Structure 1
C-alpha cells in the first residue's frame, strides 16, 4: 500500500511520520501548492448532488458547504429535502439549517458565510466541497466584484446532469415519497393564513402549494378534501419540475455564456435503471469520473491512477482523524 503511495504521490510516504493534527491536504500532491482547491458540485434538483459530494468527502479529506437557498434555513427538513444525519457518513456539513426561517438569507449573506467556511476548511488542510442547486448563490460567490474566491482558490466544477423527461419522472416520485414521510404535516405546522410566501423558508416549493388546502380542509367533506390535496401535490410536482428546468438552464448559461469550465457528468442512465444496475451505472458514469477529476485537481496525476490514490486515502483510517484533529 505504501509503495503505491510512493509511486503516485511521493510526499504521501511521509504520512506515518507526521504527528496527528499536522497532516495537510497538500501532502497528497507532488507539486508545491500555489492555490488551495475548492470543488463545486452543481445540478438540478434530484440528480444526486448530495450523494456525490458525500462520496467524494469520504474518498478525499473534505468537508461540505451547502449552497441550497432553502436548505440554509432551520426547519422543514422534509420539504426542503435536507440530507439526513445518517446519510452524511460522518462528513461535517456547513450552512445547513443555520438561518432564521422567517428572514431572507440573501446572496450577500451567503457569500460572506460561505467564504468564511471555505477559509476555515482550507486552513485545516481539508478540501471544501460546495454543493447545492441554488446557482444564483454559487454565481454570486464565484463572480463577486473582486473575484476573491477565484483569485485565492483553484475551483473545480462538477455538473451532475440528467435528461429532463427522465428527471421529471423521478422528482414526481420523490414528491410522493416526501408526502409519505410527513411533508404535509411539516408544512401544516408552519401554516399561517397571514404569512408572506415571498420571504424566508416559506418560499420553498411544498409550502405555498398547500395554502388553499390548509385554509379549506376543515370545511370540506372527505371527497373534496382529497381532491384539493391531490391538486396541491400535483402543483408541488409541477413546480419542482419547473425548478429543475430553470436550474439546468442556469448551469448551461454559466457554461456557454460565461465560459465556466464545468465538467458534465451524464447520469441519465442511472435513473433509467434500478437496483444493482443503477448502482453500477452511478459508479461508472458519476462516481469514478468525479473521483478522477478531483484527484487530478489535488494530486496532478493521470486520471487512470487517481482511483488508487483515493483508495489509499480511504483505506488509511487514521487520515481523517489526523486532518480534523
Structure 2
C-alpha cells in the first residue's frame, strides 16, 4: 500500500500549481488596472502565490523524501511565509482593505473617482506589508516558530509556550479583523440597497436587474472571503488538536490553507472577468440632447459608479 505521505505530497504539489496559476492570472489581468480595488486584489494574489511556493518547494518535497532536506532555519523561514507575513496579507489585512474600499466607493463616489496626488492605496498596502513582516519577526526566535512537521504532514506551531502564545495571538487578530470587515461589508450592502431604491425611477428595468444580480454576487464574495480565512485559522489552531490521525492533521493544516487561497484566486479571476464588460460601457450612447435625457444619463453614471466600484 502506498504510504499516506506520497498521497499528501501529491495533493500539495497539484494544489500549489493550481494556486500559482489562478493567482498569477489575477496579477496579469489586474496589474495595470487603475482602481484601488484591483490593486488590493493584486496584493492578495501575490501573497497567495508566496504561500503556494512555500508548499511547492518545501512541504511537498519534504513529504516525498520523508525528511527535511535543508537545515532547520529553512523550515522556520518557510513557516513565516505560510503562517505570518504573506498569510496576514492574504487574509485579514487585504480583507479589511477591500471592505473599506467598497464602503468609500459607495458613500463618497465622487471623491473616490477623483485623481488624488497621494496614491493612498499603494501607501496603505506598502505599510501593511511592512507591518506584516515586522509582526513575523518574533516567530524567528528559537522556540517561537511555526514549522512543517513531516510526521503529521502539516504546519503547526512548535510545542512551546512562546509558539503557542504567538499562534493564539494571530488567531485572535484574524477573528477580530474578520468581524470588522464583515461588519463594514454588511453596512455597504445596506447602503447599496438604499441607493438602488432611490435610483430605480431613472434606470431602465435591465440595469436595475443587473444591479440586483451584482449585489448578490458581491454579498456572496464578501461572506466567502471573510469566513474562509477565519475558518482556516481556527482549523490550524484548535480543531487539529481534536484527533491525532495523520489524515486529519493533513486536512486541517495543508489542505485547509491551500483550499482557501485557491478559492481566493478562483473568485478574483472569475468575478473580474464578469465585471470588465460593464465597466467598459459605463455610459450608454446618447440618443438625444434634450435636458431630460442629459439628467437621465447623469443619474445612470452615478449608479454605474456605485455598481462597478463595489464589485470585483
TM-score (norm 1): 0.28
Higher share in helix: 2
TM-score (norm 2): 0.28
Higher share in strand: 1
Q: Which has the higher contact order (CA 8 A, sep 6+)?
A: 1
